[in-house]
Every structure is written in structure tokens, then in C-alpha cells.
Amino acid sequence: MAEVFGQLQARVLACDISPAMLTVAEKEFAQFGVSVVDFKKIDIMNCEDIYRSGKFVVCWRLMQRVPRELIDNILVQLSKVAPVIIISFAGDSIYGRIRYYLRKMIFGGAKSLGGVRIRRRELESLLEERFVIEYSESVLPGVSAQRAYILRLKSDDL
């Protein structure tokens, strides 16, 4: 993503709870010559220090790693940072399970899908409680279970 933000000449606030991940991000941004970046250690369950600090939030490949019961709180926190969220989720489907088990048989790997997988209808119902889904698309159809969403906050009273 550093390359994209560099091409956009965007000012970036990169956040993570892990200092090690922030170091990785810092190196990646430097690799693409992006210099207008601030790095901040933030717990996604409490983003109070950065409320209303951006035009949009990008949260990529995180939501399939958190328990289902935390998703709503995370979405609330992200919506307090910016009114638009670009986010990805790993969906649950028969096709996805078959693809996962075939990949596991060929390449090896974890014994289960792991993480959180939510059926698309259930996920989109959850998202539509607070957001308008402006865009949704499979990231790599046939290869990845990731689906990207652009969400706009319905109301500003969270």
C-alpha cells in the first residue's frame, strides 16, 4: 500500500499495536520514497488518540484474525477515525472451504481455516447497520477469500 499512497502523494498515519509491524511499515514506506508518514502505536479497540484524524481508514487483512464478537467494536472505532473505511474480510463459503482444503493438501499448512470467516450476507447485514456499502469486490476471485469493501458512515453520531 505504500506504493499507492506514494503515487497519491497522500499524508499517512500508519497505526498498529505492534512496534515490529510499525517498523516493517516504516521500511516499506521508505522503500517507495513516501516521506509524509507518521507512525503511531494504537490499539484498534481504542482509537481515541486519533479520532477524526483522517479522510479515510484502510484496514487490510485484519478482520479475519479477530473474534467475531469484536468486529462491531472495531468498526465503531474505525468510524470515529474517518467517515470512510476501506476494509477487507475473508468470507466463508463452500467454495472457499474446498479451495482451502485443496491448497492444504497440495502445499500443507494449518489444520483449520483459522480466524473468523463470516458468510457474506451476514457480514453485509452487520456492515449495513452503521454503513452504506459503496463498493464491494472480491480481491482475487478463485484465489483468495478476501473481499474488499468501501464503507461510508451512515450518521456521524457514533
Question: Which domains does the chain possess?
Answer: 42-153 (3.40.50.150)
Contact indicator for 79, 54 with CB cutoff of 8 Å = no
Residue 156 has pLDDT above 60, yes or no: no
Cell of 77: 472505532
Note the pLDDT of residue 75. Answer: 93
Contact indicator for 110, 104 with CB cutoff of 8 Å = yes
Residue 152 has pLDDT above 90, yes or no: yes
pLDDT tens column, 81-127: 999 999 998 876 666 667 777 877 888 766 554 556 678 888 899 99
CA–CA distance, 113 with 97 (Å, rounded to integer)? 8
Contact indicator for 120, 145 with CB cutoff of 8 Å = no
CA–CA distance, 22 with 39 (Å, rounded to integer)? 7
pLDDT tens column, 27-48: 999 998 888 889 999 999 999 9
Average pLDDT, the chain: 85
CA–CA distance, 47 with 70 (Å, rounded to integer)? 14
Closest CA to 8 of 80, 86, 78, 83: 86
CA–CA distance, 120 with 124 (Å, rounded to integer)? 6
CA–CA distance, 30 with 48 (Å, rounded to integer)? 27
pLDDT, average across residues 19-25: 94
pLDDT, average across residues 53-77: 88
* pTM flag (> 0.85): no
